[in-house]
Structure formats: C-alpha cells, structure tokens
Structure 1
Amino acid sequence: MRYLTLGKTNIQTSEMGFGCMGMSEFYGEADDAESLKTLERAFDLGVTLYDTSNVYGRGHNEKLVGQFARGKRDKLVICSKFGVVRDPSGPSGSTYDRGIDNSPLYMRRCCEESLTRLGIEAIDLYYVHRVDPNVPIEETAAALAELIREGKIKSYGLSEVTAEQLRRAHAVHPVTALQSEYSLWNREPELDVLPACKELGITFIAYSPLGRGFLTGAIKQAGELKSDDFRLSLPRFQGENFDRNQVLVGQIKQFATAKNCTPGQIALTWLYYRGQDIVPIPGTKRIKYLEENVGAKGVKLTQSDLDQLEEILPLGAPAGSRYDAKFGGNPQTPKS
C-alpha cells in the first residue's frame, strides 16, 4: 500500500480509502458484526482513510466507525460530512426526504454531534456534503476555517461542487480534498474539476469508483437488488438503460478476463493511472470484496490497455443520468 499526503496538509493517508456508507443503509440491511470484521481487515491490509457522514444511517454509520476506531485512532484518517438534512424519524434508505443546510450554526451543531458519535476529539477531514444555494460558499469556508482554528476539525473538503465553487472556497481557506463520483462510469470531473484540483494542490477523493457496483459485473439484472436498494431509483439501473449498460460492462468483463483479473479491479486500477493525487474509496460489507479491491494494485495496464478502455467507456458513454429529477435533477455535472 502506497501512502500520500492529503492536499497541502501533513495528513498521511493510504492510496485507497474505505467508503463506509453502505454498511448502514442504501445497499441492503446492515450487519454490524460483519462490517466491523471487514473494517478490521481493511486496517490489516493498510487502509487508513475511512469515509462516513452524519446522515448515513442517520448517525449509525458514524457510531460504527467510532467503534472501529477505538484503540487505533492515531493510525486512522477519519472523514465525515455535514450539510444534508434528513428527517431523523424517516425510514431507512429513504433518500428523498433530504434538504440542504450549510449555515454556520447548523454546521457547528453537526460537527459537535459527529464528534460525539465518533468518540474522537477532532475530525481529520470534514466535508460539505452538498452545497447550499442559499449560503455563499465563502461563508461556509470561513465557518469551516473557524472549526479548524478551534481544533474540532483538522482540514476541510467539498463534495460534488463545480470548479468555480472550488476556487471561491479555496480563496477563503485552502481546501484539502474534493470528493465526487468518479470512475469509468462517471467521468464528468475530467471536464474542469480534476484540472482545478491539480492546479490548486487539492486531493481528489473518488466515491463510487465501481460505478455503484455496476462495473464489477456482479449485477446481471436489476431484479437481483432488494426492493429498498437505492440503486433502483437511478436511471442507469432502469429499463433500456440497464440493458445498454450491461453491454458496456460485458466488454469490461472480456477485457478483465484477458488481464486475468476482475472487472472491478480494472475499474480501480484505471483510477490509479489517472493520477497519484486521486484516492478511490470503494465500499463493501464483505472481506472477500475488500480483498479483491485492495488486490487491484497488482494489476498493470499498458498504454494500449488504457486506449482500449477509452474506446469502451469514453466520457458520457453510460446510458441514463446519474440521478433522477427527484434526487436533484440530471447531474451529469454537479448542481450548485
């Protein structure tokens, strides 16, 4: 496992992180015992960055990560988020009951609650989960800088923002990391966000690097997913879009077979070849898939391989948008 520095801080992290969201909701029922075993195995394999949020499982996920962190806090990079508002009494997996609040007062309250659930004194990397159109990004950045001065967080990041928003926030206080969906399945950050990160020295954290599981080739029919699975609401997993996307994944499967690895490993390896300042954070509940993900580092791609992947999945290739209008429009590129 290679290690790198987050942004322009002194925080060292593994080149692969762990996205913990699915351990609490959205992708089937939670199993804390199995999840904790998987987290421990990730740590044994050298993974040090763990990504959570105050809204994942409505606080459950932070408590789970906090339980895992006991006794090894100084060896972990713990990342959490604020900004999304959900009804605390709403049903698990209900994604559309959300609002957005970036007000300094709400931010401070969320931070204190997250610190309590995580059982730590400071959050290493604290993200604005989604940008509030009613609060200037400069005001949000200034409030986060105050939390840094107070020692409640060590650095801050943004999620799903435009390059313009990133620059405005960075001008107030340096942004350490930007987290957005990025994979062979969603390459829109290449248009302007990734270049801005490279220019400003900001680490890019790639969530859903396996295309929400599509790129693993394991999902052969949408009907295989449980009725409360978040992905059933996504256009790429519906109807003709699903069928057309399966054809693309079939080509990735053939490519992986020729390379003697799995399609998911190809997806992760491709990200490593996009730059040393990109950290994918695949998530899973199971040790088997965790080990497969970490094993992607053993896969080598030639320029010919990269050119072939470009032909299979160029920017904009998947059928359907990332989200439907109910979730927040058609965000092929981030909405403000």
Structure 2
Amino acid sequence: MRTVSLGSQGMAVSAQGLGCMGMSTTYGPSDEQEGLATLMRALDLGVTFFDTAEVYGPFMNEELLGKAFIGKRDKVILSTKAGFRFTEHGKLAMEGEKPLVTGDPSHIRKSVEGSLRRLRTDVIDLVYLHRIDPATPIEGTIGALADLVHEGKIRYLGLSEASAKTIRKAHAVHPLTAVQMEYSLFERGVEHNDVLATVRELGIGFVSYSPLGRGFLTGALKNLDNLHPTDFRRFDPRFLGENLQSNLLLVDRITEIAEAKGVMPSQLALAWVTSTGTVPIPGTRRIRYLEENVAAVAITLTQDEMKALDAAAPFGAAAGERYSSGMMATLGH
C-alpha cells in the first residue's frame, strides 16, 4: 500500500483508509472478534489510516479500535470526530428525527478527552468536527480544538460535512489538514458546491466517506430483503421504492464498465475515487471485502474509462436524498 500526503500540514496516510463505523453500528448487529480480526488484517495489508467517531455506538467503535491497537499505536493513524450531543444515559440526543449537534468549546474538549481514553492513546492523529453547529461561531470551536493541538492531545484538525464558507473560516483560525465528505460515483455534490475546489485551493486534504455508496456500488445489493431490520439503509431514501429501482440502473451501467475492465464494480468505484486525488475510507467488517477493496489501490483508469464513468454516473444521477430529513438538516453549514 503506498503512502500519500493528506493536506499540506505534514500528515501521511495509506492511499486507502478503513472506515470502521459499521463494525459497531448502523448496519445491524456486529461481532467484536470479527471486527478485531478485520482491523488486524488491514494492518497486514498496509492500511494505516483508521476512521472512527465518538457517536459510532455511541463510543463502542472507539473502544474497539483502542482494544485492537494496544501495542501497535506507532503503526496506525487514528482519526475520530466530535460534535454531537448525548443524553445523560449516553445515547445520541435527538430533536424529533434530527440529531443534535454542538460546537460548544467546553463540550468539544470533554469529547476529545473521552476519545483519548477510549482509544487508549495520549494523542489523536486527526480530530474532525463531525457536524457544524450553526449556533456556535466556528472560530470558537476551532479555537478550542487548536488549544488541544497546542497541548499535544491532537496532531491535526479537520471538518466533516462543512460548507466552503465554513472551511475558509476554520482554516483561518488553525490550518486544517482534512475535510471529510461523502464522495463517490453515487454522490458528486462536492464537485458542484465549491467544497472540492476550496480544499484544493487551500492545500487541505480530502477524505471520501461512503465511496461505495453505502454498499450500492458493490453491485451485490439488489433489494432490501437480506438487510437486518436495524440496518439504516431500510430507511435511507436512496434505497426506497422507485429510487431503489432507478439507482440499480445506475449501478448496472457502472458494472458494465467494470466487467469490460475485468474488475469488480466496487473496485472500479474505489479506483475512481482514488483517481480524483482524494483518500477513500470504505467501510467493512469482513476480511473478504477488505481484501477486495485494498486491491483497488493498484487499479489505474484510462481517460476513456474516466469518460465512460462520467457518462454513466454524472452529478445528480442518483435518485433520492442521501440521508433522512433529520440527518439532512445537519449538513451543509
């Protein structure tokens, strides 16, 4: 696995990272031993960049990574995220269907301190503000995170799901190393809302989450029948009704190009994301899929293949919003 620079602040990561959320939440019941085995296999394959967040579980996913990397801390780059509110019982705080976010400096400090404990480390390589709180000036939130950098508890800072305007404001307070956004052949909004252009202008790295469209771009998901009742895709607009049927046609077009190249649809999709100069963090809890994903790093695309993919999956091709209305309300600030 080759190493690439993430941004211009000195951070280096594997060309493909591993999104760890699904090992603990969101896609139905998980198995800790399977998660630990997958994390170890990722290290064997040269993956060094691991993505988690305090809200994944909540807290369970950070604890999993902390357990996995005992004695291996010098071999991994750990990134986590802060910025959601929780109840006194440790559950995600909600207002109806909308998760509650916060950029309150005291809350952010408390969250990072908790992440340090759960990850069993003295310093976190990269901390993102998970969502932007429009009620708290971004300058104050980034100032609090910058204090933690100066204290040696965080190495680098990032934002997740932020507007170009907010990225500029934050970067002016303390240099950002990375911005993490959803980006794939299924979701190309960052090409058109000035986010991708802004990070490139400012020398900020870009981390692409859900580069396989939450499993759509594997070509294996044809209906919801085999999804666990708690799998959030059962409630995701892009997986419902007519949207599902329309999006399956998009996947069919990508699959045709993959078959012509002799690779899997998932590998083609990951090769495309990598070719854009961003770092994808596909998530999986299974070694088999991890190995398939990592193999995509070696795939190069011709100009003709890139043009074919642009035609097959242009901006706006996916039907439906990418989240429920409650989650959509947390984006784009």
- Shared topology, TM-score over 0.5? yes
Q: Which residue of 2 aligns with 1:46?
A: 46
SS at structure 2 position matched to 1:56: coil
Is 1:121 aligned with 2:122?
A: yes
Q: Judge which range, 7-16 or 46-55, deviates more.
A: 7-16
Q: Which residue of 2 aligns with 1:217?
A: 219
SS at structure 2 position matched to 1:36: helix
Equivalent pair of 2:37/2:287 in contact (CA under 8 Å): yes
Is 1:335 aligned with 2:294?
A: no
SS at structure 2 position matched to 1:57: coil
Q: Write out per-residue CA displacement over residues 273-322 of structure 1, whole angstroms, 9 at most, x where no aligned residue.
A: 112xx110001011100000011123221111111111110000011111
Please give the alpha-carbon distance, in whole angstroms, between the structure 2 residues aligned to 1:169 and 1:176: 11
Cα RMSD of the aligned pairs, angstroms, is 1.5
Equivalent pair of 2:11/2:177 in contact (CA under 8 Å): no
Is 1:316 aligned with 2:316?
A: yes
Please give the alpha-carbon distance, in whole angstroms, between the structure 2 residues aligned to 1:111 and 1:324: 28
Q: Which residue of 2 aligns with 1:142?
A: 143
What number of residue pairs does the alignment pair up? 328
SS at structure 1 position matched to 2:59: helix
Distance 1:86 1:243, change over 3 A: farther
SS at structure 1 position matched to 2:22: helix
Equivalent pair of 1:222/1:242 in contact (CA under 8 Å): no
Equivalent pair of 1:235/1:322 in contact (CA under 8 Å): yes
Q: Write out per-residue CA displacement over residues 25-59 of structure 1, whole angstroms, 9 at most, x where no aligned residue.
A: 10111101011111101001100010000110111
Please give the alpha-carbon distance, in whole angstroms, between the structure 1 residues aligned to 2:22 and 2:264: 21
Please give the alpha-carbon distance, in whole angstroms, between the structure 2 residues aligned to 1:273 and 1:13: 16
Equivalent pair of 1:86/1:98 in contact (CA under 8 Å): no
Gaps (5+ residues) in structure 1? none
Please give the alpha-carbon distance, in whole angstroms, between the structure 2 residues aligned to 1:320 and 1:82: 28
SS at structure 2 position matched to 1:135: coil
Identity of aligned residues (%): 49
Equivalent pair of 1:86/1:97 in contact (CA under 8 Å): no
Q: Which amino acid aligns with 2:207?
A: I
SS at structure 1 position matched to 2:61: helix
Q: Which residue of 2 aligns with 1:195?
A: 197
Match of 1:256 among 258, 261, 268: 258
Q: Write out per-residue CA displacement over residues 250-277 of structure 1, whole angstroms, 9 at most, x where no aligned residue.
A: 11112111111110001000012112xx
Equivalent pair of 1:128/1:158 in contact (CA under 8 Å): yes
Equivalent pair of 2:99/2:326 in contact (CA under 8 Å): no
Please give the alpha-carbon distance, in whole angstroms, between the structure 1 residues aligned to 2:48 and 2:62: 16
**What's the CA shift for 1:4?**
1.7
Gaps (5+ residues) in structure 2? none
Q: Which residue of 2 aligns with 1:16?
A: 16
SS at structure 2 position matched to 1:16: coil
Please give the alpha-carbon distance, in whole angstroms, between the structure 2 residues aligned to 1:195 and 1:11: 20
Q: Which residue of 1 aligns with 2:182?
A: 181
Q: Which residue of 2 aligns with 1:36?
A: 36
Please give the alpha-carbon distance, in whole angstroms, between the structure 2 residues aligned to 1:326 and 1:165: 21
Q: Which residue of 2 aligns with 1:272?
A: 274
Q: Which residue of 2 aligns with 1:80?
A: 80
Equivalent pair of 1:53/1:82 in contact (CA under 8 Å): yes
Equivalent pair of 1:48/1:75 in contact (CA under 8 Å): yes
